[in-house]
Amino acid sequence: MIDKDKVPEKIDLSEILGEDAAGGNEEIEVLDPFADETVDDATPPSDPGDPRPAAEREDKGGGEVYKDLWVRARADFENFRKRTERERDEEAAKAVALLIRDILPVLDNMERALEKAPAGDPFADGVALIHKQLQDALFRAGLRPIKALHEPFDPVFHEAVVTEPTTAFESNLVLAEIQRGYVFRGRVIRPSLVKVSVSQQGSPDADTDED
C-alpha cells in the first residue's frame, strides 16, 4: 500500500541515472494519485439550468416540506371556520324557531277572534290589520304554513286527532284542519292537527246503509 505522506512532489533523474544519462538537471513532476480523493460532499452538483445559488438548491427538500405543512394548516383552518359559521347559524335558527313557536298561539287566538267577530266591526278591522302585520313579519323570517286541507295525510306534516268513516272520500285524506301547522326554514316546528278520512267502500256496513 502506497503511503500518501511519503510520495515526493518531484523526482531528480540525476540522482537515479547520473548526470550523463539524465542530460542535465531536469526534474519530472510526479502526479499525486490522491489529489482528487477529497470531494466536498456538501456541495450539490451544478445544474446549468438552475440559476439559484447552491445553498438554495440544497434546501429545496426542506422548503417543500414546510410548504406542504402550511397548505395543510390553512385547509384545516378553513374547515374549522366553515364548521364554526355553520354551527353558529344553526344555533341562531334554533333560537328564532323557539321564539316563533311561542308566538304561534298568539296568532291562533287572533285568527279565532276574527272568525267570531261581526262583519263591519271597526275593532275587528284593527285586529285584522295587526294580525296581518304579525303574520307578514313571521313570514319574512322564514315561517311558512303547512298545506293540509284535502291533502293526503303525511305523518311528517300532519297529526291526526280525529278520524271520520266515509264513503265519499278515499282513506287517509285530510277532511278538516283543526289547528294550522307551520314549517320554519324547511323544518316542521308545529304539525297540523287534522281530521282524517277512513274509507268504508266495500265494507258490510256500507252495503247495509245502501239497502
Separation of alpha carbons 131 and 108, rounded Å: 10
Indicate yes or no: pTM above 0.75. no
The pLDDT confidence band at residue 208, using thresholds 50, 70 and 90, is very low
Question: 131 versus 61: which is more confidently predicted?
Answer: 131
Q: Which backbone phi and psi does 142 adopt, to 5 degrees?
A: 120, 5
Residues with Cβ within 8 Å of residue 177, at least 6 apart in sequence: 148, 149, 192, 193, 194
pLDDT > 60? residue 174:
yes
- Within 10 Å of residue 194's Cβ, how many Cβ atoms? 27
Residue 26 grid coordinates: 531536469
Please state, for a pLDDT cut of 70, what percent of the chain lies above it.
Answer: 65
Give pLDDT tens digits for 96-126. 999 999 999 999 999 999 988 888 888 889 9
**pLDDT for res 167:** 84
The pLDDT confidence band at residue 169, using thresholds 50, 70 and 90, is confident
Instruction: Looking at the structure, give the CATH architecture of the domain made up of residues 145-211.
Output: Roll (2.30)
**pLDDT for res 22:** 47
Question: 155 versus 14: which is more confidently predicted?
Answer: 155
The pLDDT confidence band at residue 168, using thresholds 50, 70 and 90, is confident
Cα pseudo-dihedral 69, 70, 75, 80, rounded to 10: 100
Can you give the three-state secondary structure of 99-158, one letter per residue?
Answer: HHHHHHHHHHHHHHHHHHCCCCCHHHHHHHHHHHHHHHHHHHHCEEECCCCCCECCCCCE
Residues with Cβ within 8 Å of residue 114, at least 6 apart in sequence: 124, 127, 128, 131
pLDDT > 60? residue 187:
yes
Question: 114 versus 15: which is more confidently predicted?
Answer: 114
**pLDDT for res 203:** 55
Residue 195 grid coordinates: 281530521
**pLDDT for res 77:** 92
pLDDT > 60? residue 36:
no
Q: Which backbone phi and psi does 123 adopt, to 5 degrees?
A: -65, -40
Please state, for a pLDDT cut of 90, what percent of the chain lies above it.
Answer: 45
